[in-house]
Amino acid sequence: MIKNQWFFERELPNTVQDYKIGWRLKKKVYSGKSKYQKIEILDTFGLGRIFILDGILQLSEKYEFIYHEMISHLPLFYHSNPQRILIIGGGDGGVLREVLKHSLKEIFWAELDQKVVEVSKKYLPFLNLKNSLKQKKVKLFLGDGATFIKKFKDFFDVIIVDSTDPKGSSLSLFQKNFYQNSFLALKKKGIFITQSGNFLDQISEIKTTLKNLKKSFPYVKVHRIFTPDYQGSDFSLILASKNINLEKFDIKKTKKRFKIKGLKYYFPEMHLASGILSKFYQKKLKQ
């Protein structure tokens, strides 16, 4: 909601919030509706350009690198040699920009909303989507990711789910059968990652996602990142693995492999550190 030159975010789905976040506006850049959601792009003083879906901030020019680097490089460095991956959601292109920094053979991408892709190409140049889509190894499929994944068995090395919060069209990406189909679509050493909400207001969402993933995957692990632009700022990503024990991250081997230049948040020590939860959060997730 925009009021007196301030943009105030809507409450996150399924949460009761006793705080409100507002960003001082410079100008409105774009506002429109697709078949699935309301799409807005605004310029702010505090976060630069921001991208909003149904009133909830998806990314900011100033801090998007934190979320995009971690949701991309954590699974790709947990896996010893990823070749073929699937991105679900991520219509803004931020995850695609990051995964293209690895020498992958094939990148399948299932995004629901063509309008999100078009608007992002035009108004979010810092995510480089226009150029990324020129790469032959990128295959974009428009549609529901939960339906798309049913076509594959033992096919992907890594699956990255960069979805909106669990409501409406993205609810299918938070279901047990979607996690089971993801398990089946992954190869033996396959790794899955999903955004799972913040530790302040969405603890129950994190716990539900953990519980449901453990029904399909033997190894499941929460990583924690600090996202100043997201409500609650203390954000969680959950990884799941078919065979690789995520508690045994080999930092020595990863340091040898880690040749990507110019990353601002992800590096092997941050990989390790982000997987360590305080006793406080460990207890909260068990309650």
Name which of 83 and 172 has its Cβ closer to ligand SAM.
172
Which region among 21-29, 40-48, 139-147, 270-278 touches ligand SAM (by CB under 6 A)?
A: 139-147
Q: Can you state the angle between helices 203-214 and 176-185, rounded to 10 degrees?
A: 50
Q: Is 98 in the site for ligand SAM (CB under 6 A)?
A: no
Give the H or E element holding residue 68. helix 64-78
Closest approach of Cβ 95 to ligand SAM, in Å? Answer: 8
Q: Is 169 in the site for ligand SAM (CB under 6 A)?
A: yes
From 159, 158, 187, select the one nearest 173 (Cα to Cα). 159
- Bridge pairing between strands 219-226 and 234-241: antiparallel
From 153, 192, 145, select the one nearest 173 (Cα to Cα). 145
Q: Is 162 in the site for ligand SAM (CB under 6 A)?
A: yes
Helix (H, G, I), strand (E, B) or coil at 28: strand
Q: Is 160 in the site for ligand SAM (CB under 6 A)?
A: no
Which region among 129-137, 141-149, 201-209, 266-274 touches ligand SAM (by CB under 6 A)?
A: 141-149
Helix (H, G, I), strand (E, B) or coil at 100: coil
Name which of 200 and 257 has its Cβ closer to ligand SAM.
200
Vertex 119: Cα angle to 171 and 140 (nearest 5): 60
Residue span 33-62 as binding mask against ligand SAM, x where in contact by CB under 6 A, dash where not: -------------------------xx---
What's the rounded Cα separation, in Å, for the pair 132 and 181? 27
Name which of 95 and 244 has its Cβ closer to ligand SAM.
95
Marked catalytic residue, from 162, 165, 201, 229: 162
Length reported for the chain: 287
Name which of 68 and 187 has its Cβ closer to ligand SAM.
68
Helix (H, G, I), strand (E, B) or coil at 7: strand
Residue span 56-95 as binding mask against ligand SAM, x where in contact by CB under 6 A, dash where not: --xx-------x--------------------xxxxx---
Instruction: Put the strands of the sheet holding 106-111 in their side by side order.
Output: 138-142, 106-111, 84-89, 156-162, 186-198, 234-241, 219-226
162 is catalytic: yes
Which region among 24-32, 167-175, 185-193, 218-226 touches ligand SAM (by CB under 6 A)?
A: 167-175
Name which of 175 and 282 has its Cβ closer to ligand SAM.
175
Closest residue to ligand SAM using C-beta atoms = 91
Q: Is 9 in the site for ligand SAM (CB under 6 A)?
A: no
* Burial 94-122, CB ≥16 within 10 A → b, else e: bbbbbbbbbebeebbbbbbbebbbebbbe
Name which of 230 and 244 has its Cβ closer to ligand SAM.
230
Residues annotated as catalytic are 162
Residues near ligand SAM, by CB under 6 A? 58-59, 67, 88-92, 110-113, 116, 144-146, 162-164, 169-170, 172-173, 195
